Amino acid sequence: MTKKIAFQGEPGAFSHAAAANLFPGEEVVGCVTFEETINAVQSGRADYAVVPVENSLYGRITDIHHLLPASGLYIIGETYLRVEMNLLGVPGAALEDIEAVQSLSVALGQCRKFIADHGLRTINAVDTAGSAREIAQKGDRKVAAIASRFAAEIYGLTVLASNIEDAEHNTTRFLVLSPSPQEAPADNGKVKTTFVFRVRNVPAALYKAMGGFATNGVNMTKLESYMVGGAFTATQFYADIEGHPSDRAVQLAFEELGFFTDHFRILGVYPAAEDR
């Protein structure tokens, strides 16, 4: 039976490309917002969701860190997508014709040097794929979009310049979300465990809570903090570690963490991506 995979954005978005890579041949469901993407899985309209969680240039995707812990969904996988920005024009257009470029503000910001070198006027838009669609519909040779090759194929645009981003390491990490846990086995390759926690209101609680990971040799690959409930005193932490909850070292680290926290929840235990 064909699975339905939700992603945020229009056809041709980088999230669409990530979903297609992870679930080739399955049906994809574009959503306007991250909330709608998560709700598609919660309501059963989609089997899984593929959402970005961090970018090597932009940093963390704040909305996901706030939405995921309260969503009731589980992380069952991850992938890394090299984000290659391309200048897309209507058929027949040439680079010399372009006077303005349209895209998501983040994408425009990642291509500042190319835009400045060619003296292009910028047009802010909602997303990259939507910009490609609008450029194709307008048919103006003087205006181009910054988007993926995937978007060029979908909307029949021509790639006028490839890989125009300022930094070659521009990569986005995506998570696969499921309505039910699908815990990776402990003895079949590298595993990541993602969890959230809140420390008790005692001196040096975070320092002491982290001590268990260091003393037990557990590698923490991500630690993010953010406020919850609009209170400056209520801070939640989002963390990734390398290891499985059944590993003895991880068990000891979690046991020590428990002494200094008043909330702890595992969001997923999943295979670490090989294409990091």
**Encoding tokens for residue 248?**
């003895």
E-strand stretches of the chain: 4-8, 27-31, 48-55, 59-60, 74-82, 86-89, 100-104, 121-125, 143-147, 158-161, 171-178, 191-199, 220-227, 235-242, 261-271
Is 256 within 8 Å of 193 (Cβ atoms)?
no
Find the catalytic residue in 7, 114, 150, 174. Answer: 174
Told to judge if 172 belongs to the known catalytic residues of this protein, a careful annotator would answer yes
Told to judge if 34 belongs to the known catalytic residues of this protein, a careful annotator would answer no
Is residue 94 packed enough to be buried (19+ CB in 10 Å), middle (13-18) or exposed (0-12)?
A: exposed
> If residue 153 lies in a helix (H) or strand (E), which one and from where to where?
helix 149-155
Quick one: CA torsion of 89, 91, 92, 95, rounded to 10 degrees?
20
Find the catalytic residue in 37, 79, 128, 172. Answer: 172
d(CA 233, CA 229): 10
The torsion region of residue 217 among left (phi > 0), alpha (psi -120 to 50) and beta comes to left
For residue 159, which phi and psi values (nearest 5 degrees)?
-80, 110
**∠ at Cα 273 (270, 274), nearest 5°?**
140
Residues with a catalytic annotation lie at: 172, 174
